[in-house]
Homo-oligomer: A and B are copies of this chain.
Amino acid sequence: MGPIKQASLTLDPAGMRLQPGQGLAQQIYAQLKDKILHGSLAPNARLPTTRELALALQVSRNTVVRAYEALISEGFVLGRVGSGCFVAELAKLVAEPVGGGHPPARGAVAPRTTLWACLQDFEPTPTLGPQARAFRHGLPALDLFPHALWSRLQARFWREQARPRSKSPRQAGQTVSLSYGEPAGLPRLRELIAAYLSHSRGLQCGADQVLITAGSQQAISMAALALLRPGDRVGMESPGYRAAAAALGLSGAQVVPVPLDGQGLRIAALQALGPLAMVYTTPSHQYPTGVTMSLQRRLDLLAWAEREQAWILEDDYDGEYRFNGVPLAPLATLDQRQRTLYVGSFSKLLFPGLRLGYLVAPAAWLTTLAKLRSVLDRQSSIADQVVMADFMAEGHFLRHVRRMRRAALERRDSFLSAWAQDLAPSLPLAYRSLRMQPIDAGLQAFWPLPSRALETRLVAAARAAGIELGGVAAVGGLPAHSQEAGLVFGFASVTPPDIRRAVAALAQAWRPIFERS
């Protein structure tokens, strides 16, 4: 222990001010630490005894003892409480921040990575209030979610965790724990998803091809990280899902917009773009325009991918919502060369806050994809995976999908009839040709518009009337691309009466705009 210094740099308790209330020991500790770090308590200075300091600060001696013990255990102070404490001799103390005083000036140095710069430019879809309102897009009929059933399944999971010995036969050989699990996902859930895809979606695949992800967004970001190199070019439908475009850029790839027509992605335009490493597409129900890719286009796209040795990333975010006939088989079912990765999600069938989705990929890739998952965030929540597996295995899932499809169909019809009755007739003649795109599938309608300027005005007027509308600029505008315009109406998240009220309100809110133009 060093010699005792002169009084000039020992502690003068008069300068210490404590806020009344909890945490007195913490305050003493923090103020002493600060004085030591900034040199106003010099190395080797002797601290007052705990009794002296307690008296000076009018606190209990125990409080000071706790503060001293913390300083000793962290190495700021040497000695033993009760037999003399000294400030430790520390080299390279913290310099005063430029400008003096603290807390330190805000404004940390900004990271200088390319990704950081890209992210700063990225405008994600804004987070909206919790109450679903007409016509928020991207949401299913959350009001139909079987809360009570889901809660019961969760309670059962926890009961079984509490009594690990009394396994139900359902779980025999499938014991799970609260510990770390398989990064690829709960084996039982992977099997159930493979069976669902094979039986209900026509996509023959094994559990060894299914990777559980935290929603479709993670499936896309993982594909981008695993398959794309900096400088690669990725084709993407335009307008398209902006969050997917951002994910595709994660490893430094450049996203190139590919125009659409009534049959989907234009293959001739794709070919004209030159070599691409990947194409991202939503063939079942293009986001946001709602176009279904024709069979010929699907075949052409696969032939192109084979020729170019490119990957196809198929995002089937709402493929279950097919209103005319059976749901279309995914593009991946036509792929004989394993160039298509298939992305699915439970967000549009159960609820987005669940964060469960999946990526279907060649079986030979699964080990490496699972390693990527383990490096990114290890795995999905174990309780959610078990409950989801039970929900599927016990038949609730297929029943719920049917009910959700019926509800979406009913809400679509309410929307279309309210539109035809209340809104379409209120449009001036010049705008009557702006027809709502047919809605054969999905959770939203798309209304093409002649200009972004009109789109902006209509969105603003709707918002003023309390109605949420996504313009292409906000929901599907890829950067640096031409100015398609239109409005997206999410009709599935609210009930028919709300839909009718909202259409009537829109007709009124928009009248001045259409009359002026």
Interface residues of A (CB under 8 A from B): 22-23, 26, 29-30, 37, 66, 69-70, 72-76, 88, 90-95, 97, 102-104, 106-116, 119-120, 122, 124-125, 127-132, 138-139, 142, 145, 147-148, 150-151, 154-155, 158-159, 161-162, 164, 175-183, 199, 202, 204, 213-215, 217-218, 221, 225-230, 243, 246-247, 250-252, 294-296, 299-300, 302-303, 309, 322, 324-326, 328-329, 334, 336-339, 351-355, 361-365, 368, 371-372, 374-384
Contact = CB atoms under 8 A, between A and B. Distances in A.
Nearest to A333: B33
A91 B364 contact: no
B183 A378 contact: no
B164 A159 contact: no
Nearest to A125: B180
A28 B160 CA distance: 43
B337 A104 contact: yes
B88 A364 contact: no
Given A226-B115, A296-B75, A108 B338 contact: yes
A69 B326 CA distance: 8
A20 to B, nearest CB: 16
30 contacts: A22-B199, A66-B326, A70-B325, A70-B329, A72-B325, A73-B324, A73-B325, A91-B299, A94-B334, A109-B339, A111-B226, A111-B227, A113-B226, A119-B226, A119-B375, A120-B368, A122-B375, A124-B371, A131-B175, A151-B158, A178-B351, A181-B353, A213-B377, A214-B214, A214-B377, A217-B378, A218-B377, A243-B374, A246-B375, A353-B382
A299 B58 CA distance: 33
A110 B365 contact: yes
A104 B177 contact: no
B202 A225 contact: no
Nearest to A148: B162
Given A66-B326, A250-B375, A108 B351 contact: no
Contacts of A29: 202
Given A155-B154, A295-B88, A364 B177 contact: no
Contacts of A337: 97, 104, 108
Contacts of A130: 175-177, 179
A26 B147 CA distance: 33
A26 B199 contact: yes
Nearest to A303: B92
B364 A92 contact: no
Contacts of A108: 337-339, 361-362, 364-365
B375 A353 contact: no
A114 B381 contact: no
Contacts of A131: 164, 175, 177
A141 to B, nearest CB: 11
Residue among A179, A230, A338 facing the most chain B CB atoms (10 A cut-off) = A179
Given A109-B309, A130-B176, A246-B375, 19 more contacts: A69-B325, A69-B326, A90-B295, A91-B299, A97-B337, A107-B364, A113-B229, A116-B368, A124-B371, A124-B375, A179-B351, A214-B377, A230-B230, A246-B371, A247-B375, A250-B375, A353-B379, A354-B381, A355-B380
A97 B336 contact: yes
Contacts of A378: 214-215, 217-218, 243, 352, 355
The 6 closest A-B pairs by CB, nearest first: A353-B382, A75-B295, A108-B362, A178-B351, A130-B177, A151-B158
A30 B177 contact: no
B375 A92 contact: no
Given A66-B326, A91-B300, A177-B132, A151 B145 contact: no
Contacts of A109: 309, 338-339
Given A108-B364, A372-B119, A161 B147 contact: yes
